[in-house]
Chains A and B, each alone.
Chain A
Amino acid sequence: MYSFLRLSVLLVGLVVSAGSYAVKAAQPLTTADDLGPNVEQPFEFPHDRHAGDAADGGMEINCMYCHTYARRSIVAGIPPVQKCVGCHQNIESVREAPRIKKLFEYWDAKKAIPWKKVHDLPDFVRFNHERHIQRFVFAQGKPVQEACGYCHGDVKKMTVARRQKPLSMGWCRSCHMKDHRIDATSTKTSQGPNDCWQCHK
């Protein structure tokens, strides 16, 4: 009886581990898109209107005008409400739009807007925005929207941001294994870090 129990526990263990290993092994190093879930936000923020191309009616605002912490900190951050209001108090044309009314409700109450995280890595992973922005935007001179877009997709075409990429380890590695030029003028290249502890806490 007990040996049967033991055997079954071991078998189950084997099957589960083999199965999960197969899943892991099948995961390719890919840049393929992997659409995340729709995240419901307090109100819809039109990224396309703010950052989109002028031809599409966008304002072509630099990502880092609002996500100002990206070049200075681990996180890109959400701008304080005062930044939204800084512009919008002078834009009378949309002042009565429902989303803007919502914005001013938060501002009048001096409350932060409870935005949800759209790109939320597991707690054991450290991803540093500053390093990536400094390398790709400031050293290599890549356009900001392209650099941010490596991970965040074409946000300028979205309203509420939605995850476009898998953000899995294999996916990170697919880029870290490529040769990247060390700056705009050099022909020298280097790869992204390969050490476990660079990303894993």
Chain B
Amino acid sequence: MIENGFNRRNFLKVLGWGGATVALSGCGNTSVEDGREFVTSYAETADYIIPSIGTYFNSTCAQCDAGCGIMGRVREGRVLKLEGNPESPINNGKMCGLGQAGVQAHYNPDRIREPLLRNGDRGEAITWEKALELINEKVGSVNPENVAFLTGVVSGHVKALLNNYLDALGSGHHYVYEAVAPSVVRASNKKAYGVEMPRLSMDKAKVIVSFGADFLGAWVSPVHFSQQYARFRKPDNGERGVLVQVESKMTLTGANADRWLAIRPGTEGILALGLINSLAAAGLPVSEDVAAAVGEYTSDRVSKDTGVSAEHIAKLAALLKERSPSLVIAGSAAEGYAHGSQNAAAIALLNQVLGNVGQTVEAPSSVPFPQMAPSTGNSFALQSLSDDMAQDKVKVLFSYGANPVFTAPAFFKLKENLKKVPFKVVFAHYMDETAVEADLVLPLNSAMEDWATLMPEYIAEGAQLNIRQPLMEKMYPGTLGVGDILLAMLKQRRPDEYNDYEDFYSYLRSAMVSNKDALGGADKDDDTFWETALSHGVVKLVGEPVNMTGSMSAAALVVPAPFAEDATYPLHLIPAVSASMRDGRNANEPWLQESPDPLTTIVWDSWVEMHPKTAAKLGIVEGDIVEVASKSGAIKAQAYLFPGIHPDVVSVPLGYGHEAMGRYAKGVGSNAFSILDPVFDNETGELAMHETRVKVTKAGQRVIIVKDEGPAGGSQMGRRIALRIPSNKVNLSEEV
């Protein structure tokens, strides 16, 4: 044993001298390494390709479904950095952190590189010919009724090919699944306004009241809304807009609001009706049936039900009355309950009473090519698929752009139901939880190697078709684009129609060029039209504003009373959708794991966010590992105390807790999807994401939370760096 030997002090001395030695000797001429490396050279190249100078190519971001235009900087044949495409009206040249991490999806070391066929519990590499032959054989051997496609949001020519394939089979089983989507709001909008997603003109509004819509962080099209928000805050002329955020757990948008109101979970609809009542009392003209419907929602009662003080309700009503037009948005916090549809309807009614429909809630444009319009998804689709699988109705399942084994709550029993499907084909980038269950895994090109057209759900101006084009050569020869795979599958079914197309690129080009008149290229020859489309990255289409022909019936609107107390599971669980993690599909990109959550600054882990008062009651301090148990399951994570949350609520971010997928995602945090309770929206049948009741208990361990925030818990240690006043000292009507 070394005793009294080379201790720390001596170690440091030697380290110091060694360091000085290296520093003094420096890096001499020896580093001029003549003749070791190759010069970048080309056989043929375009004039604009200059070594060491980046060239930008336009494409479309694939990190979420908002469809922002991107420009990739390409140097010496490699994509280095992404920027926003200024020509896309969705993001106008801007980009978010999630989008920036797109290069890590492309260069990711965990990508699958060749088709894998299940052999026992292993995947065996096979050729594409064999994989496609196998698909042909399996699909051919079953009743077309038993073939099902599960996808995420699809649009553009990939959707057209997919529909043609289903058509060729004679089966219509296409389940579009989005784990985190405003599907109840879509249904409610459809009813109230006649369109699923109206255009929200935040820049025209003077007040925005958002019921839990995190439009600056993760809701629908955050980069677009952030720019609208900037104009709303600082209009060219007129007053600075006022944002009031009503939610039970503070989101990034809530943190930016002038007034953040912590509301008792699920009572958003009551507050909306209460506001109508107050507005009517203050003299805003409302129709008789509306007045009758909201008559009993007096300020006192609403205050008691929602936990929002009568004073704040009065101020908010005064603000809304004074400043018109305003905009009221129903977000995920309002729709995530069994009565989510009613909440959303009440909020839509508030918009109508305020006269916002047609002013700030505007009609979107019609889509000239409905077969390419986006198919948006919901959780009901997965529920139906899961039921069909349980009843042995699915013999061949294709899965693309979704990871249902990870995102489905445990009560779905999706993994067991999947086992009943004899042949499961998963199109995947990584060996994620769903790919692990597959019989055949088909490796996809990254979004930076692929061809596609996309039509986003939320388009800022007119209609548009986004182009996705390769920014560099494929990293691995064994991957294929989803369009190429679908085309190959279609060739098996409809050879006469599709054999002429060598690959998806030639199909896409010919499909676009043959429709160039409708795509704004009537005056151009084929090549010019195609080159123009590629260089712009966006094809702007002419569409007429659709008619907003919704109807709102105040009489039919019933918003239930607040939740009853639950002695066993006293707390509400809010599964939080963070700007970086979303539903967890990008969890294997280390930049996203590493970028701190905007509110808690935590990195590389899940956490249980709770109010300091609640924590004190339970004897929990920051860093305690706690168990969050619902009727459907339990997870463990570190506790984080945060005042921006209702005391009856705990919140766990989604997207963490992967059991597979890759080295950066696997084993990081816990999966909040798994413990959600089987509660569904009454009208749409959507999974009510915010309905889960939980109890929180200490699990015994305590850890140091890894976060950017200082060790003093974000306090300023008496240094008056950012001055603040308590929220109850702010007079909303004067301040804002």
Contacts and interface: CB of A to CB of B under 8 A. Distances in A.
A77 B36 contact: no
B391 interface: no
A10 B18 CA distance: 8
Interface of B: 4-6, 10, 13-14, 17-18, 20-21, 24-29, 31-45, 50-53
26 contacts: A2-B6, A5-B6, A6-B13, A10-B13, A10-B17, A13-B17, A16-B25, A17-B21, A17-B25, A21-B25, A24-B26, A39-B34, A69-B51, A75-B52, A77-B39, A80-B45, A115-B38, A115-B41, A116-B36, A117-B38, A120-B35, A120-B36, A122-B31, A122-B32, A166-B32, A167-B32
Contacts of B45: 80, 82
B677 to A, nearest CB: 55
Contacts of A69: 50-52
B50 A119 contact: no
A63 interface: no
Give the top 5 A-B pairs by smallest Cβ distance, nearest first: A20-B25, A39-B35, A122-B31, A13-B17, A17-B24
Nearest to A24: B26
A23 interface: yes
B34 A119 contact: yes
B41 A9 contact: no
B727 to A, nearest CB: 47
Q: By DSSP majority rule, is chain B's interface helix, strand, loop, or mixed?
A: loop
A97 B47 CA distance: 29
A107 B43 contact: yes
Contact of A37 (B10, B34, B44): B34
Contacts of B14: 6, 9-10, 13
Nearest to B45: A80
B44 A78 contact: no
Nearest to A41: B35
B8 to A, nearest CB: 13
A80 B41 contact: yes
B399 to A, nearest CB: 39
A17 to B, nearest CB: 4
A114 interface: yes
A121 B25 CA distance: 18
Contacts of B26: 20, 24
A9 B32 CA distance: 30
Interface in A167-189: 167-168
A13 B34 contact: no
B33 to A, nearest CB: 5
A122 B40 CA distance: 16
A13 B25 CA distance: 11
Interface string A1-20: 01001100110011011011
Given A2-B5, A73-B51, A77-B51, A114 B21 contact: no
B25 A74 contact: no
A74 B52 contact: yes
B43 A14 contact: no
Contact of A118 (B21, B27, B28, B35): B35
A40 B34 CA distance: 10
Given A5-B6, A39-B34, A117-B37, A23 B52 contact: no
A122 B36 contact: no
A91 B347 CA distance: 79
B41 A163 contact: no
Contact of B36 (A2, A9, A20, A117): A117
A166 B52 contact: no
A143 B200 CA distance: 63
A72 interface: yes
B50 A73 contact: yes
Contacts of B43: 80-82, 106-107, 110-112
A200 B219 CA distance: 44
B34 A113 contact: no
A114 to B, nearest CB: 5
A36 interface: yes
Given A10-B14, A117-B37, A16 B51 contact: no
A197 interface: no
Contact of B27 (A2, A13, A23, A122): A122
A23 B4 CA distance: 38
A114 B38 contact: yes
A115 B27 CA distance: 26
A124 interface: yes
B37 A13 contact: no
Interface in A12-66: 13-14, 16-17, 19-21, 23-24, 36-37, 39-40
A36 B51 CA distance: 25
Nearest to B33: A120
Contacts of B13: 6, 10
Contacts of A82: 42-45
B693 to A, nearest CB: 56
Given A69-B51, A110-B43, A121 B32 contact: yes
Contacts of A121: 31-32
Contacts of A167: 29, 32
A58 B702 CA distance: 79
Nearest to A68: B50
Contacts of B28: 23-24, 168
A122 B602 CA distance: 38
Contacts of A10: 13-14, 17
A78 B529 CA distance: 34
A78 B6 contact: no
Given A17-B24, A72-B53, A78 B39 contact: yes
B650 to A, nearest CB: 48
Contact of B20 (A13, A73, A78): A13
A75 B28 CA distance: 22
Contacts of A112: 41-43
A198 to B, nearest CB: 17
Given A23-B28, A74-B53, 18 more contacts: A9-B14, A10-B17, A20-B26, A23-B25, A24-B28, A69-B50, A77-B41, A79-B41, A80-B45, A81-B43, A110-B44, A115-B41, A117-B35, A117-B36, A117-B37, A120-B35, A120-B37, A168-B32
A110 B51 CA distance: 19
B38 A168 contact: no
Contacts of B41: 77-81, 112-115
Nearest to B23: A17
B314 to A, nearest CB: 60
B44 A20 contact: no
B12 to A, nearest CB: 12
Given A10-B14, A124-B27, A118 B51 contact: no
B595 to A, nearest CB: 25
Contacts of A168: 28-29, 32
B39 A115 contact: yes
A58 B580 CA distance: 62
B178 to A, nearest CB: 44
Nearest to B29: A168
Contact of B34 (A5, A36, A80): A36
B22 to A, nearest CB: 9
Nearest to A128: B52
Contacts of B4: 2
A196 to B, nearest CB: 13
Nearest to A120: B33
A20 B24 contact: yes
A163 B44 contact: no
B25 A116 contact: no
Nearest to B34: A36
B114 to A, nearest CB: 25
B71 to A, nearest CB: 20
Contacts of B18: 13
A79 B47 CA distance: 11
Nearest to B25: A20
A21 B24 contact: yes
B50 A72 contact: yes
